[in-house]
Structure 1
Amino acid sequence: MKVVGTSTPRIEGREKLIGTAQYVDDIPLGDFLWGQTVRSSIPYGKIKSISFDPSEDWSDVTIVTAADIPGVNVVGILEKDWPVLAKDRVYHQMEPILLLAHRSRERLYRLQSKVTIEYERWDPVLTIDESLARKAVLFKEDNIFKQIAIDKGDADAAFAAAAEVVERTYWTGHHEQAYIETNGMVAAYDPAKKYLKVTGSLQCPFYVLKGLAPIVGLPPERVEIEQAVTGGAFGGKEDFPTILAAHASLLSMKSGLPVKMIYDRPEDLMSTTKRHPCRTVVRTAHDSSGKITALEMDITMDGGAYCTLSPVVLSRGTIHAAGPYNWDNVRIRSRAVATNTPSNGA
């Protein structure tokens, strides 16, 4: 076989090596606006009012709220629960509430602090135990995005007959994907042709297309998604780019100009989806020789405020929980729950 043992050059390798590869922030645009997001400062509550500092000139600033969305105000990945922009309530700190666009990025940074949002604060659900206890109901009737059960053999009998049972609880925190290039997106809407083109740092163009078209109120054939050279992703640009694409697109549609949105590192760290925090309880049954005769695992993942890809991550964690071993007796129970923290994903 000629392909075995043969090194295949990367298609984009030369451009990356000599520095001519165009990441999203390198794309020449001509006349365009920068976009910026105004976010929630509290984890849970009702939006009472939004006001703009009258000492500032807002006449040349494009402002987008939930009321400006021409289609649906939801990103539908596995559940239709993730708002593009919060309308009347917020479910986590750093949740997007409104968008600003201007030619000067420096001015946008200043204007962010000139928007005042008043809230009615509610007591947030911040831990998996508070979620399971239904301190507040955030998702459906029980706060559970997904739950899975795996059974093999007779775990109860194996534990009852065990000479020794060992139990340990393990905690893992948020995992940041730590891509070098932060999330970025450029959207350009042509009102004459009713055609939207979005170019961004992303992993799954068809995820973005499926989610974005209903938000902007266009048929899929009038929306073009292009993946720019992407400076790392590792799952972190799988679900979240649909939100950023929607924000840039809404600003472009309202302003009539291309809009570029590039997160700085603090915004990217605090607002984008991470890998889930998790509590794992592991019990093993042993006979008198020390042989493990049964495995029981209880897994709870913190999905954050919205479902996103939590069921997918949960299924992979659950399916792989027992490892590559041929267990005679296994019981695995797992669930992903909602909390008032930024959503977690791939």
Structure 2
Amino acid sequence: MSRLKKSAFTLALALAAVGCSDPVDKAAKARIFSPEDPPKVVASAKQKLPPEDVASNPQVARRILGMDAAEVTERLGPHRFQSSVSYEWSSANSNPVKLTETRTFRAGPGGVSGDFHGVMENSRDQGLEVMRVGGQVFARNRYGPFRQRLRDRGMAERTRTELTGAIRDFDSLFQGRLKLAPEGTITYEGRTAWRYVVTLGPASEAASARALPTTFQPRGNADESTRRRAAFFAHRVPRSLDGEVVVDADTSVVLKARLDGRIGVPQEKTPEAAELRLTLESAISELGQDPKLQPPEDFLPDADKPQGIADALDAFGIERKKPEGAEKEKAGAEAPPEPEEEEGN
């Protein structure tokens, strides 16, 4: 090896040694080759939430009351959740309007990535059913057939969160004013649990003073129904609340809840004073029991687009876009066969 080559080789070794000793490079390599962090839900499920601190620590109370279904499954394992929510609107110039909603959710083993089956129905004969079995998702409305959802895009996880979020939604409607007072421990489903009496807490100045972005207004103003809903959320005032919440002492999961409250809208804020009575009953059962979920026997395959839209295009005489190569294949199929060569030519 020539002297010039030896010098270049020595210089390369020196540069490599300097590069390896750089703390920035070492930190980058440590990040690149470190084991993958667990999903956020799994990390949250390992967090200890002392149920005895619920009454004295609002952050722990909001964390427990708003716990997501995926985290509940990580903490409890297989279980069955069922809730019934009743809404009753009343005002001086109209008849009461009632709606009852039932939510049922079964979680299989496997934690956040495991199988589950959820059903939502209401007293107006509407509903939704979603299930995930072996990584495959199937969904349908109350009376329609199941359809496989290969391009799920998180629909199953969002539905799972909505099905089991009745207590979180109740707390949000009452502006986070659920006040929990401890009443000792009880035994529920063979487990030790803390029982809390629920009352209406004082209004939070921070929540009322928080600035919200201006809502977009459609051209020609919003319709009457939209204006009523917007007025309710903007000017609602919680008036009464009572009930109880049972929290598992080991996992800090709400095992049972019964809530009854009223929210009013003052007449000086809206053209017509109104009141909403909201009741909720929920319970978790069949702890640790594998529901052994199976995919539906009959289901429709996934579709590129809803068939209703395609049918509407056909009704107006708009041809569907044909896939590339379809015309060539059709032309090749309709072309007459070439004559066979005569023998002896």
TM-score (norm 2): 0.20
TM-score (norm 1): 0.20
| Structure richer in helix, relative to its length | 2
**Which structure has the higher relative contact order (CA within 8 Å, separation 6+)?**
1
